[in-house]
Amino acid sequence: MKSRDFVQSPTFPQSSTLSLLKELYCRKQNKVLVWEIFIDKLDSIDKHIMLLLNYDGGYLQDCFWQFMSSRILWVVPSLLFIIYVFKHFNHSVAIGMIIAMVVTVALCDQVSSSVLKPFFARLRPSHATELEGLLHLVNGYRGGQYGFVSSHAANSFGAVSLASLIIRRRWTTGFLITLALCVCYSRVYLGVHYPADVLCGGILGVLIGFCVYHAMRYTFNMTKRTKLRLALTICVFVVSNNNVTAEELNDSIPVVNQPDQPSPKVESKLDKFSSSRLYQMTYVGVPLVAAGLIVKSEDDHFRSLRNDYMPKFRNHTDDYMQFAPAAVMLGLKTAGVEGRSSWSRMLVSDAFSAMLMGGVVNTLKTTTHVTRPDGSNEHSFPSGHTATAFMTATMLSKEYGHKRPWISIGAYTTATATGLMRMANNKHWLSDVLTGAGIGILTTEMGYWIGDLIFKNKGINHSATTDFQLDGGMGNPSFASLYVGLNVPLSRYDIDENNTFRTSSGSSVGLEGAYFFNPYLGIGGRFTVSNTALIVNGDKAEENSFDAVSLCGGSYFSYPL
């Protein structure tokens, strides 16, 4: 806080009237000065809180809070809101609610960006010279020049307040408020807004959302002529503000009851959870994304494996292979082979899947700024080719996997080959490929879930939804697998009295398969390629690694439990 001297009043002629004017003038000037001191004190407190809340949380937190601050966060909630209002209200009311939501976000965005920010002209913390070098800025992102009030906070709380008043469910309101608070904090974490910016932005959003909600209720009771006039006014407003950035629409996740499935009277909670729709949607995709994040620190090991065995590999087959499962699916559909869904249901589900996948992948690519292994650009994480390949593979499996198990096996084998070729072409790290595979599966599951909400029981072949069952009870456990892993050999070798070396961590890739003649006995083999770092006479690994190729075969034994 800068110190100031109290303002000295000018010299007045000595008279009773002028003395009174002099006293009033001094009081006014001193009140202005006290107000400025008060504002400076609040500004100092705001900056102090800003420095407490803004910190370097590492790569994972940077990615998470960037995602919470991005537009893609609101894509799925917006779609769910549209589905909810059309499901619970008649079409005219639902359209009115959607228009009200758009107007709310437009008002919040325009009032905060076009009115309040230029009026107060308060610099963002990322542009404040006194905070230079004290803030953690993610990937150099600084935002615009002025920051009071936060448009993200206003848009979020405006949409949340309107959605909460429409849905009126406690758990929904709690979830929406939590989501909006996370968006607000993300702006502080990224260093582009003070706490006061997001606080006042949130208050502005709540006020606008409350006013729009009551205006919406009032319009539902209007005559048709009055409604038409109001609709024309809204259209003029939206067209005149064609630079509206509706960054956050709203979130309302309705509870969707899944069809009852036959189950024993006494069923464990684990069995219930494993048969739930949520588990079926996430039990493959979530572990893949988690694995991609876990192995990120070991990407160099797997890249060295590629550089050791195929340093000059170049092939563009993966550019076309990613679409192969989709081509097979459309070919079967065109040929008249009956699948899970009708044309309209399949195309809508696939369209939602593609939009979600593209939005998530492109948002992460532009926010994480991970450099590709070949250094060509900073859009490596996650792999878009792999995400597309696993998305199309999941589509084919959902539509025709019930016909023959080899359809799903072939689809996912093609998708896996696409991911491996992206690594072989030196375009992606292992973490990029694993995360891309998980995103492709998860977004397709979400797209088909949205399609199920829209169409319900229309356009679906119920006989095609039955999972493929093996005949004959317990089958032979024949298998083929591809595995990728880390090596942690715990070995130490004494070459002589003065020289020793030990092995450090490395990576391995292999193929394994076996054919069983019966449930107990089979024959198979394993092929493995690996590398291991060496540490000679010290604690630092050498630049060169120990490479090994192994091939083994023999009998396989299995005992079913």
User: 175-219: per-residue pLDDT in tens?
Assistant: 889 999 999 999 999 999 999 999 999 999 999 999 999 888 877
**Residue 432 scores a pLDDT above 50:** yes
- pLDDT at residue 443, as a whole number: 94
Residue 345 is which amino acid? Answer: R
Does one domain contain both 177 and 212? yes
In this structure, is residue 18 part of a structural domain? no
pLDDT tens-digit readout, 421-430: 999 999 999 9
Positive or negative, the Cα torsion across 218, 223, 229, 235? Answer: positive
In this structure, is residue 261 part of a structural domain? no
pLDDT tens-digit readout, 406-419: 899 899 999 999 99
- pLDDT at residue 74, as a whole number: 83
What are the beta bridge partners of residue 459? none
- Cα separation values, 457 from 87, 201, 346, 467, Å: 14, 43, 13, 18
469 vs 439: CA distance, rounded Å:
28
Stretch 134-138: mean pLDDT, rounded? Answer: 86
- pLDDT at residue 546, as a whole number: 74
pLDDT tens-digit readout, 374-416: 988 888 999 999 999 999 999 999 999 888 888 998 999 999 9
Stretch 218-243: mean pLDDT, rounded? Answer: 58
Q: Which residue has the higher pLDDT, 464 or 332?
A: 332
Does one domain contain both 325 and 183? no
Total length of the chain: 561
In this structure, is residue 506 part of a structural domain? yes
If DSSP codes are grouped into helix, strand and coil, which group holds residue 150? Answer: coil
Does one domain contain both 503 and 527? yes
Does one domain contain both 91 and 235? yes
Among 412, 441, 465, give the residue marking a domain's end. 465
In this structure, is residue 19 part of a structural domain? no
HSE-CB at 187 with a 13 A cutoff on CA atoms is 28
pLDDT tens-digit readout, 30-80: 555 555 666 777 788 888 888 888 888 888 888 888 888 887 788 888 888
Q: Which two tokens mark 376? A: 């060509």
285 vs 212: CA distance, rounded Å:
39
113: which DSSP letter? I
**Residue 288 scores a pLDDT above 80:** yes
Asked if residue 262 has a cis previous peptide bond (ω within 30° of 0), the answer is no
Q: Which residue has the higher pLDDT, 330 or 541?
A: 330
**Residue 12 scores a pLDDT above 70:** no
Burial readout 363-375 (b: 16 or more C-beta within 10 A, e: otherwise): bbbebbbbebbee
The domain tally of the chain equals: 3
Backbone angles phi, psi at 501, to 5 degrees: -145, 150
Does one domain contain both 144 and 292? no
Backbone angles phi, psi at 342, to 5 degrees: -75, 170
Among 411, 439, 465, give the residue marking a domain's end. 465
Stretch 252-273: mean pLDDT, rounded? Answer: 49
**Helix, strand, coil % in the chain, rounded to nearest 5:** 60, 10, 30
pLDDT tens-digit readout, 512-557: 889 888 888 899 999 888 877 777 766 555 566 777 788 888 888 8
Asked if residue 206 has a cis previous peptide bond (ω within 30° of 0), the answer is no
Q: Which class for 253: exposed (0-12), middle (13-18), buried (19 or more C-beta within 10 A)?
A: middle
- pLDDT at residue 411, as a whole number: 93
In DSSP notation, 57-111 reads: -HHHHHHHHHHHTSGGGGHHHHHHHHHHHHHHS-HHHHHHHHHHHHHHHHHHHHI
- pLDDT at residue 28, as a whole number: 55
**Residue 338 scores a pLDDT above 80:** yes
- pLDDT at residue 223, as a whole number: 56
Q: Where are the beta strands (DSSP E) in 256-380?
A: none
Stretch 320-342: mean pLDDT, rounded? Answer: 91
Does one domain contain both 101 and 220? yes
Stretch 269-278: mean pLDDT, rounded? Answer: 71
Stretch 219-241: mean pLDDT, rounded? Answer: 59
**Residue 278 scores a pLDDT above 50:** yes
If DSSP codes are grouped into helix, strand and coil, which group holds residue 277? Answer: helix
Those residues whose C-beta lies under 8 Å from the C-beta of residue 178, and which sit 6 or more positions away, are: none
Q: Which of 58-62, 96-100, 305-309 has the highest mean pLDDT?
A: 96-100
Parent domain of 377: 271-465
**Residue 472 scores a pLDDT above 90:** no
413 vs 140: CA distance, rounded Å:
40
Q: Which two tokens mark 87? A: 């499901």
Split at pLDDT 50, 70, 90, the class of 137 is confident
If DSSP codes are grouped into helix, strand and coil, which group holds residue 314? Answer: coil
Q: Which residue has the higher pLDDT, 258 or 269?
A: 269
Burial readout 181-212 (b: 16 or more C-beta within 10 A, e: otherwise): bbbbbbbbbbbbbbbbbbbbbbebbbbbbeeb
Does one domain contain both 287 and 401? yes
**Residue 248 scores a pLDDT above 60:** no
Nearest alpha carbon to residue 358 among 238, 304, 439:
439
Does one domain contain both 162 and 234? yes
In this structure, is residue 1 part of a structural domain? no
In DSSP notation, 316-334 reads: -THHHHTTHHHHHHHHHHH
Stretch 4-11: mean pLDDT, rounded? Answer: 45
75 vs 369: CA distance, rounded Å:
22
Positive or negative, the Cα torsion across 335, 336, 340, 341? Answer: positive
Does one domain contain both 412 and 339? yes
- pLDDT at residue 438, as a whole number: 94
Phi-psi region of 522 (alpha: psi -120 to 50; beta: other; left: phi over 0): beta
Stretch 316-343: mean pLDDT, rounded? Answer: 91
In this structure, is residue 192 part of a structural domain? yes
518 vs 96: CA distance, rounded Å:
64
163 vs 177: CA distance, rounded Å:
11
Q: Which residue has the higher pLDDT, 561 or 391?
A: 391
Q: Alpha helices, DSSP H only, in 369-404?
A: 384-400
**What is the Cα gyration radius of the chain?**
31
Among 465, 500, 529, give the residue marking a domain's end. 465
CA 18 vs. chain centroid, Å, equals 69
In this structure, is residue 424 part of a structural domain? yes
If DSSP codes are grouped into helix, strand and coil, which group holds residue 375? Answer: coil
Does one domain contain both 179 and 131? yes
Name the least confident of 172-186, 216-230, 333-347.
216-230
Residue 483 is which amino acid? Answer: Y
**Residue 266 scores a pLDDT above 50:** no
Statement: the pTM of the whole predicted model exceeds 0.85 = no
Does one domain contain both 437 and 305? yes
Q: Which two tokens mark 40? A: 């400076």
Split at pLDDT 50, 70, 90, the class of 172 is confident
In DSSP notation, 177-238 reads: HHHHHHHHHHHHHTTSS-HHHHHHHHHHHHHHHHHHHHHHHHHHTS-HHHHHHHHHHHHHHH
Residue 111 is which amino acid? Answer: V
- pLDDT at residue 307, as a whole number: 82
Q: Which residue has the higher pLDDT, 168 or 270?
A: 168
Q: Which two tokens mark 222? A: 């209007």
In this structure, is residue 36 part of a structural domain? no
Residue 231 is which amino acid? Answer: A
In the block, residue with structure tokens 């995103």:
439
Beta carbons of 200 and 122 less than 8 angstroms apart:
no
Split at pLDDT 50, 70, 90, the class of 373 is very high
- CA 57-60-65 angle, to 5 degrees, is 75
Does one domain contain both 368 and 423? yes
Q: Which residue has the higher pLDDT, 279 or 501?
A: 279
Nearest alpha carbon to residue 289 among 377, 371, 386:
386
Stated as kind and residue range, the H or E segment containing 485 is strand 479-487
Q: What is the mean pLDDT of the chain?
A: 80
Counting residues of the chain whose pLDDT is more than 70, the rounded percentage is: 78
Name the least confident of 309-323, 461-475, 482-496.
461-475
**Residue 243 scores a pLDDT above 60:** no
